[in-house]
Structure 1
């Protein structure tokens, strides 16, 4: 009788051990490592209208950049290796195409992907030409969080007003001519899970006539992840 009880206990123990071993194997096959490979990035438009991107990764991350000919997205594929690559910082110039710029960061876990869409007018200036737009230059920086930092400079005599458009669920920066000596601004934005982060620069021209056609929204920046 004792032998039967022992064999029964052994059978149950073996089953539990096998089940635990199977779970361990499954965990090894499907690791739950969702650490973000992209540490930070900064998109810039200089005073001449040229766009560029700086981004930082861990030193064990391999980066492959591809221009998707169908979607026109500048795709950056990030994958982790078990050895040091010896490079953390990358920089590329990204020209507008049909007044648009699309950027996509794709990580090998597919857990932390991020897309950035920019709509702007191609205003590339030759050497010596002066930028007469309301917005002179700007940059948008992000990291592994949902917090983004916008820094921008306007030309002389341009006033700035920050507005959140609840109906459109977007942030608007209204620029118009006025008596203002301040040129540099900085603003922090927090992206929510419910919607993309949208930032629109709204340029108001010919205020005396108040023509709707003279209100233009550019550049526009949309971030989704």
Structure 2
């Protein structure tokens, strides 16, 4: 009579062990499909753009200029070696007239996150003529948080507005009459999952040809897409 009792006890223990093992497998977090942790897009005072990537240790970047789609394609590839945690792309971003786009293509994900910028091409424009915005940067802190930092010229008033109609963070720049104590600004912006993060610098200036006409020039424009498909 003892052998059936021992056998039943062994089956119960085995069942409990398998159940715990399955629970542990379910509880294990899935590996992140994004091989880069954060990035910083910068435009300096000369108008030159650069892109800094904070990568996992075993990730390297290969830059390919797709002339068919006018896109800078960054291929993030897993390697067996530790190649470092940062990658910098400077003065090597392909413009299409006044636009450039960067796609982040990874071998372990179907998502293709991207950054798109609408701005003057430094090769054809003199950024010294930009009398409002001097420089700026957009830094990804995590999937839902971004920091916007920028400097403006003296006597430029700054107003922050979130335009709910078009889902855009707007930074309004206009010449003011009074001097400002600080020309450096920082804002933390929230990005909702599966939605675009859009930033528009809106320059309020007078049309030189028609001195009474006020122009609202949206430039630069930055669009961050996490690559999620609807």
Q: Same fold (TM over 0.5)?
A: yes
Matches of 1:49 and 1:125 in 2, distance apart?
11
Aligned-pair distance for 1:144?
4.0
- Assess if the C-alpha contact under 8 Å between 1:59 and 1:88 holds in 2: yes
Aligned-pair distance for 1:131?
4.7
Could you state the TM-score of these two structures normalised by the residue count of structure 1?
0.77
Q: Deviations over 1:66-113 (max 9, x none)?
A: 1111111111111223x2233221111225330111011122221553
Q: Name the structure 2 match of 1:64.
A: 62
2:110 counterpart of 1:115: no
- Assess if the C-alpha contact under 8 Å between 2:72 and 2:102 holds in 1: yes
Q: Name the structure 2 match of 1:145.
A: 143
2:55 counterpart of 1:54: no
- Assess if the C-alpha contact under 8 Å between 1:50 and 1:95 holds in 2: no
- Assess if the C-alpha contact under 8 Å between 1:100 and 1:117 holds in 2: yes
Matches of 1:135 and 1:75 in 2, distance apart?
28
Q: Name the structure 2 match of 1:162.
A: 160
Q: Deviations over 1:105-126 (max 9, x none)?
A: 1222215531110001235699
Taking a change above 3 Å as real, the CA distance of residues 132 and 126 of structure 1, as seen in their structure-2 partners, is closer
Could you state the TM-score of these two structures normalised by the residue count of structure 2?
0.75
1:87 to 84, 87, 91: 84
Structure 2: 5+ residue runs without aligned partners? 1-17
Taking a change above 3 Å as real, the CA distance of residues 105 and 143 of structure 1, as seen in their structure-2 partners, is farther
Matches of 1:131 and 1:211 in 2, distance apart?
20
Q: Name the structure 2 match of 1:75.
A: 73
Aligned-pair distance for 1:167?
0.8
Matches of 1:130 and 1:69 in 2, distance apart?
29
Correspondences of 1:5-84 after superposition (within 5 Å): 32-81=30-79, 83-84=80-81
Taking a change above 3 Å as real, the CA distance of residues 126 and 72 of structure 1, as seen in their structure-2 partners, is closer
2:225 counterpart of 1:216: no
